[in-house]
Amino acid sequence: MDVCCPPGVTHRPVRVDLVTALKPVCPNAGLPTPLIKDLLLHLTVCQLDELQPALNQRGISTHSGWIGVLQDMCGPNHGLDLHTEEEAKHEVMRSLFTLVFYGFTNNFVKKNIANLNNPSFLWAAAKCIRHFLLTANTHKPLQSLTAEQWPLLNLLEKRITSVSVSQSIDLSNRKTQTGLYILHRLLDHGEAKEVIVHVQCPIMLAWLLHGRGSQYINPELKDLMHSKKASCTSQTASTSADGASCSRGLETHASEDEDDQVTPCKRSKLDSVSVEEGSRKADLTVDPQVLCQTFTPCEGPSAGTCPWGQISCLEIRQCGSDSLRVLNSTLPTFFCLRSLTLHSFSTFRDLDVLGLARGLKQLTDSSRSSLTDLSISVLPYTELVEILLDASPNVTSLYVEIQTLIWGPRFSSHHPTTAGSDMSAELPLEKLTVKVAELQTDLRFITSLLRRSPHLTSLHLAGMRLPSGSSQSHLLTTLSESNHFLRRLNLEDLKLSDCLPEILNLLRNCKLEELLFNDCRLLEKCSDKEESLHQLVAVLKSVSSLHTLGLAQNRLAKNVCVLAELFSGPSPSLVKRLDISSNFIQPADLLKFAEELRTHRPPHRLTLDLRKNPADRDCDTWNNALKRLRPFCVLLVEGWKSTDTMVDHISNM
């Protein structure tokens, strides 16, 4: 049996001659290794998967073959930062499985349809992927998982750890039962504990959360679970266009099911969901336990009480007020929830956030909370961050985006929610991300948060604007004094042009492993930019723990050559990844940098990000520079159009 084929399916690859030639690749026999590596670029996805175990036995990696597929999918100029065979293979399978399974197409799928449109590929891909996307309005592919593709559903049940729902689900439609049953198999019988909801559909969210970690029972859903036919409830009204299908009346019309070919293999054991052949008025059920009895095939396991899964990670990507009310009701007893991510395309209302804080506080007060990761965007102002932290003091990872509204009533610091709160208590935060979009940021907010978080190991700050004449130096000083365990620092879109002394002091007193300055205008006010960069490089070399350095979008331009000194002298830097993208590095300057780097070769193979630099100004010189770098660098490059970057060009004149 082929390794990539499901039971009863014979794999018939198109390039039989190549597979036949590569079949005898046992450790001590077969074609010469260089020839095999050349042939890898000509194999299909299924052929690569089939031959990989034998090739690995011989010590040959299929990495180049998978990268070749990705380049064919994304284009030759797309930067691919995938260093291992399994990373590249997973990216291929992840990208293609959803397209092929649902019958979607792009140029790559059209060109390779003969190799991909077969059960062999779906079986091979299902062994690799960990995430399943449920698209509710594509009924026939989902239906196939309950019929001829039943073995594939069994495999997905064992492999999938994350499930996402991309569209609103109309619980009145009999076709919906197929999607609900598949979700039940993955969430309750399978290994999936992470749920991602892409749409604003409160009743669907209630169905997903019902019985899977919280003891709360949504009253509207309870009516649906115990009724013979689903009926519309007030809660199903959606507040966004994406939830339109939830706001329709939940009355089934026969015309909706004219092309519905779902025929369960056996009749349900419960009269309330019996399905009569030829009837277009089949009773509906949304109860997972009943659905499982309805869809289980004759040769499947005997029907019984199904398990209830637990959701440990929940992400809602279009979280409106209605969805938030459903979630807040479940929080006090959502003991298995470890990670919660809430995103709204518009700014959350402060009353909604305060309701969330109350739910989190009740969960914390139960002493059974597992919640450690909290992510929410977009908050209307910074004061709400500390309210959320006060409500969930066990959180160790916090991600927030803040966009201050310039209209409407402002939150009062004397709100009852904050009464008795200790806003100076130490926090267990280890990872903190704060992204701000406002005209001016009160720096005291973030420095206070940093002082309360002495265990912080990862910090990402973006977009903080200070009043005219103010400096971010106080921020850097606070980091030096209060956050000695910091290992990853990412400062983005912050003006640090007057903070070189504080940056150098921070580097001398820390053990950073990753340092990212993205669009921080590091050299903007330096009278001697080259000398300032020399000072920075000299101190960076002394940070022996540093392995990732990002200086994207800092207008290094011709001064990029100074960075080669990182690897000079008796104690070269151990940096393995260097990001100098978007720095308006001209081809001649890159060539000079390449020559310097050949003189001072990095002790490890260096991943060098050169994307969004003007390669087209002199393609021959640019390609010559890349040729010199490739022997000791993994290069991340992509196409460039100088006409699209005139603003950056003017800024460097």
What tokens does 291 get? Answer: 């659905």
Q: Which of 615, 498, 491 is nearest to 552 (CA)?
A: 491
Percent of the chain with pLDDT over 70: 79
Of 208, 215, 233, 214, residue with least CA distance to 223: 233
Tell me what pLDDT residue 377 has.
93
pLDDT at 527: 86
pLDDT-based confidence at 282, cuts 50/70/90? very low
Residue 515 dihedral angles phi and psi, to the nearest 5°: -135, 120
Please give the pLDDT value at position 311.
Answer: 97
Which residues does 188 contact at the CB level (< 8 Å), separation at least 6? Answer: 212, 288, 306, 307, 308, 309
Most confident residue range from 106-120, 275-289, 290-304: 106-120
What is the structure's pLDDT at 77?
62
Mean pLDDT of the residues in the chain: 82
Q: Provide the H-helix boundaries in 366-417.
A: 383-391
pLDDT, position 623: 95
| E strands in 269-346 | 313-316, 339-343
Q: Is the per-residue pLDDT at 594 higher than 90?
A: yes
Tokens representing residue 531 in the block: 């000398």
Percent of the chain residues past pLDDT 90, beyond the cut = 55
Which among 23-37, 71-85, 160-174, 496-510 has the top mean pLDDT? 496-510
- Report the alpha-carbon distance of residue 127 to residue 595 in Å, rounded: 45
pLDDT of residue 571 exceeding 50: yes
Q: What confidence tier does 647 reach under pLDDT thresholds 50, 70, 90?
A: very low
Q: Is the CB of residue 265 less than 8 Å from the CB of residue 303? A: no
Segment among 133-142, 253-262, 308-317 with least mean pLDDT: 253-262
- Lowest model confidence (mean pLDDT) among 57-61, 403-407, 449-453, 480-484: 403-407
CA distance 174 to 130: 28
- Cα 367 to its chain centre, rounded Å, is 30
| Residue 21: per-residue pLDDT | 52
Instruction: Give the span between the Cα atoms of 322 and 334, in whole angstroms.
Output: 18
Which residue has better confidence, 207 or 249?
207
Return the higher-pLDDT residue of 46 and 76.
Answer: 46
The predicted structure's pLDDT at residue 279? 38
Q: Which residues pair with 488 in a beta bridge?
A: 458, 514
Q: Is 379 exposed, middle or buried (0-12, 13-18, 19+ CB in 10 A)?
A: buried
Tokens of 549: 């350095």
Q: In 283-408, which residue ranges form alpha helices assigned H by DSSP?
A: 288-295, 321-330, 350-365, 383-391
Among 125, 46, 66, smallest CA distance to 93 is for 125
Cβ contact 587:625 at 8 Å: yes
User: For 286-296, what is each residue's pLDDT tens digit?
Assistant: 888 888 888 87
Q: What is the pLDDT of residue 168?
A: 79
pLDDT mean over 417-443 = 79
User: Of 19-28, 196-205, 273-282, which has the strongest mean pLDDT?
Assistant: 196-205
pLDDT, average across residues 252-260:
36
pLDDT at 493 exceeding the cut of 90:
yes
pLDDT for residue 641: 66
* C-alpha of 58 from chain center: 34
The mean pLDDT of 539-558, rounded to a whole number, is 95
Per-residue pLDDT tens digits for 355-399 = 999 999 999 998 899 999 999 999 998 889 999 999 999 999 999
| 376: helix, strand or coil | strand
Copy the structure tokens of residue 155. 């495999």
How many beta carbons lie within 10 A of that of residue 266, not counting itself? 14
| 57 vs 300 pLDDT, higher one | 57
Tens of pLDDT, residues 467-483:
887 889 999 999 999 99
Q: Is 193 a residue whose pLDDT tops 60?
A: yes
Tell me if residue 53 falls in helix, strand or coil: helix
Q: Computed from CA positions of residues 75, 581, 549, 624, in that sequence, does the dihedral angle turn out positive or negative?
A: positive
Predicted pLDDT at 79: 65
Q: Which residues contact 60 (CB under 8 A, 6 or more apart)?
A: 25, 33, 36, 37
Q: What is the pLDDT of residue 272?
A: 33
Comparing 230-239, 301-310, 458-467, the range with the smallest average pLDDT is 230-239
pTM for the predicted model, two decimal places? 0.83
Rounded-to-integer distance, Cα 477 and Cα 474, Å: 5
Output the pLDDT for position 247: 34
Q: How far apart are CA 126 and CA 93, in angstroms?
A: 8
Among the ranges given (26-35, 167-176, 311-320, 497-506), the one the predictor scored with the smallest mean pLDDT? 26-35
pLDDT for residue 137: 75
Q: Are strands 548-550 and 373-379 parallel, antiparallel or unpaired?
A: unpaired
Q: At residue 18, does pLDDT exceed 60? A: no
Q: Which of 110-114, 220-224, 443-447 has the highest mean pLDDT?
A: 443-447
Q: Classify 447 as helix, strand or coil.
A: helix
User: Do the Cβ atoms of 510 and 485 come closer than 8 Å?
Assistant: no
Q: Is 60 exceeded by the pLDDT of residue 227?
A: no
Spatial separation of the C-alpha atoms in residues 621 and 286, rounded to whole Å: 64
Residue-level pLDDT at 273: 35
Confidence of residue 645 (pLDDT cuts 50, 70, 90): low
When pLDDT is averaged across residues 52-74 and rounded to a whole number, the result is: 89
Confidence tier at 283 by pLDDT (50, 70, 90): low
Q: Which of 227, 268, 262 is nearest to 146 (CA)?
A: 262
Reported as a pLDDT band with limits 50, 70 and 90, residue 30 is low
State residue 425's pLDDT score.
Answer: 86
Q: Is the pLDDT of residue 317 over 60?
A: yes
Question: Under CATH, what is the fold of the domain 522-653?
Answer: 3.80.10
Q: Has residue 256 got a pLDDT over 90?
A: no
Give ranges for CATH 3.80.10.10 in the chain.
522-653
Lowest mean pLDDT among 154-163, 223-232, 435-444: 223-232
Asked if 69 and 84 count as a contact pair (C-beta separation under 8 A), the reply is no
Q: Are 177 and 262 in contact (CB under 8 A)?
A: yes
Crossing angle for the helix pair 63-74 and 45-57, nearest 10 degrees? Answer: 160
Q: What is the reported pLDDT for 422?
A: 58
Q: Mean pLDDT across the stretch 136-144?
A: 85
What is the arithmetic mean of pLDDT over 632-639? 86
pLDDT classification of 278: cutoffs 50, 70, 90: very low
Residue 67 identity (one-letter amino acid) = I
215 or 302, which is more confident? Answer: 215
Res 287: pLDDT:
87
Which helix (DSSP H) or strand (DSSP E) does residue 458 occupy?
A: strand 458-462
Q: What is the chain's Cα-based Rg? A: 28
Band of pLDDT at residue 442, cut at 50, 70 and 90:
confident
Mean pLDDT is lowest, of 61-70, 258-267, 527-536, for 258-267
Q: 637-644: which pairs have CB atoms within 8 A and are 24 or more residues apart?
A: 637/77, 637/79, 637/610, 637/611, 638/77, 638/78, 638/79, 638/611, 638/612, 639/75, 639/77, 639/615, 640/612, 640/613, 640/614, 640/615, 640/616, 641/616, 642/614, 642/616, 642/617
List, in order, residues 6 or more apart from 478 with CB less than 8 Å away.
447, 450, 451
How does residue 405 score in pLDDT terms, banded at 50, 70 and 90?
A: low
Note the pLDDT of residue 20: 52
